[in-house]
Amino acid sequence: MTDCNIHSYADDSTTHTTVLPGRNNSINPAPAANLLTNDLSKIVQWGNDNLVEFNASKTHKLLISNRRDVDDFPSVHMNDVIIEKESSLSMLGVTIDNKLSYKKHINSIATSAARKLGFLFRSKSYFTPSQRLTLYKSQIRPVLEYCSHVFAGAPDNSLKILDGIQRKAIRLIDDPILTTNLQSLAHRRAVGSLSLFYRYYFGLCSSELQKIVPQPVVYRKTTRKATNLNPFLVSVDRCRTSSHASSFIPRTAALWNNLPQDVFPPTRNLQQFKSRINRLDLSAL
């Protein structure tokens, strides 16, 4: 129906397109803006035909680019209304900004988790340390980890904000015996990313996602080096920018390639794989 990609979940839909550099590395976003406007017209027409009304005032535009010469995007219209440009958007609970820095998202979840931790602090006397640990794991830590594979490559100075929340929770629980084995958020983010990559590698995902999974490395000759490496190595393309290198696929693929052979079960088994990598010191890989 639409010329641009469109993704929907419940009543939340997003359409997007990519503008590639042309001659002399210049950018001309006008054709993309026209495509988006035409697609929105088609969506509005579909709504009219099916008695569904779309609200243009709740539709927003986000230009994602690190280029300094692209600071604006031509107008995109819906129902003859110019779509407002935003510096960030919230999509299914993840705040995405125009630089894909995730700083705003991390600050947001840190604020939410800190608020919940404050509630627990004020009611501390009603719970035992064990109960406080359970409440942290079930009600606060999930806030810090929702879609963590997306923002796990953010700069350390942003991620340290989340570590500070966990340190406060440890002090609140106030029982070293219970908290000694509490895993770091960085370790849990790495385990979560690798587990998701495992699913993608073995095709446990949509065909669209499977297309972006790096291809396995194939050795034409049997050598000692090839024998000692894990059998699921993938080809990792060279990243031209640090933001690309820190994104999910390149970042996780590099970590995946450093995993030892014995963490991969003989048959496909996600839970066994997750259990094995959970025992590794992933920060040392």
pLDDT tens for 151-164 read: 999 999 999 999 99
Task: Give the start-end residues of each E strand in the chain.
Answer: 5-9, 12-16, 60-62, 77-78, 81-82, 84-86, 88-91, 94-97
β-strand partners of 62: 86
Backbone angles phi, psi at 29, to 5 degrees: -80, -5
Residue whose token pair is 């003989």: 266
Average pLDDT over residues 82-104: 92
Using CA atoms, how far apart are residues 58 and 98, in angstroms rounded to an integer?
A: 18
CA angle (90, 92, 96) in 5-degree steps: 35
Do residues 89 and 96 make contact, with C-beta atoms less than 8 angstroms apart?
Answer: yes
Q: Output the pLDDT for position 282.
A: 94
Closest CA to 255 of 276, 231, 234, 226: 234
- pLDDT band at residue 167 using 50, 70 and 90 as cut-offs: very high
Among 133, 149, 138, residue whose Cα is nearest residue 192: 149
Residue-wise pLDDT for 180-239, tens only, equals 999 999 999 999 999 999 999 999 998 888 889 999 887 665 555 555 667 899 998 888
Please give the model's pTM, rounded to 2 decimal places: 0.88
